[in-house]
Chain A
Amino acid sequence: DARVTQTPRHKVTEMGQEVTMRCQPILGHNTVFWYRQTMMQGLELLAYFRNRAPLDDSGMPKDRFSAEMPDATLATLKIQPSEPRDSAVYFCASGLVAKSATQGETQYFGPGTRLLVL
């Protein structure tokens, strides 16, 4: 049963600390997305990658957030330094898009990392 995995599932940290969240997409998927979910803003896309290359990170605060895909089996989202307003659930999702396609198919979501910054 292929699924997206995320670690850690929960993280409590103090303001100013670095936070690293990891995601393992479904094997064979070529697109990876990072979302943030809060009560106030709902689900927002932060960044996404296709074939490990960043396609769009316009939803991400550039001064403190960074997203990378060191290899096809690992995506990371880092916050440095973290702030209380970063408290949210961060979801990773993966999908498979044909080379010639411009539109997406179903995205498969991980269980999320629940982050609390004190």
Chain B
Amino acid sequence: KQEVTQIPAALSVPEGENLVLNCSFTDSAIYNLQWFRQDPGKGLTSLLLIQSSQREQTSGRLNASLDKSSGRSTLYIAASQPGDSATYLCAVEAFQGAQKLVFGQGTRLTINP
């Protein structure tokens, strides 16, 4: 059974710092990995989707990498801003369940002005 783990559970950094969020998964047989952002009381917003054949994806100040063989992904946020404060979740789509996403518990990020 696929399991997704995110470490740390919470992170607080000063504004302007670059930071890395980590995601690991137990079964490397995946179609893709996605990073989502969730603001308090809101739904999820997709940030980046990395197909299994890709190594990384970039969108603005965000860069996500995927190492399928080791079961790891990182989300790099450059020059963090208070508006980046949110919970970040990663999710994998496993072979056994096409379109079924398995989510990690998330990392709650706080950027201090």
A interface residue numbers (CB < 8 A to B): 4, 31, 33, 42-45, 48, 50, 55-56, 91, 93, 95, 97, 102-112, 114
Main secondary structure of the interface of A (DSSP, over half): strand
A112 to B49 CA separation, bound complex (whole angstroms): 22
Chain A residues closer than 8 Å to B93, beta-carbon distance: 103-104
Q: Decide: B43 and A91 in contact? CB cutoff 8 A.
A: yes
Q: Are A107 and B101 in contact (CB under 8 A)?
A: yes
B99 within 8 A of A: yes
Number of interface residues of B (CB under 8 A): 25
Tell me the nearest residue of chain B to A39, going by C-beta.
Answer: B105
In the bound complex, residues from chain B placing their C-beta under 8 Å from that of A4 are: 43
Give the dominant DSSP class at B's interface.
strand
Known: A112-B43, A114-B41. 17 other contacts (CB 8 A): A31-B99, A33-B101, A42-B106, A43-B44, A43-B103, A45-B100, A45-B102, A50-B99, A91-B44, A95-B99, A103-B32, A104-B31, A104-B32, A106-B34, A106-B49, A108-B46, A109-B44
CA gap between A105 and B99 in the complex, in Å: 8
Q: A42-B105, A104-B93 are in contact. Are A97 and B46 (CB under 8 A)?
A: no
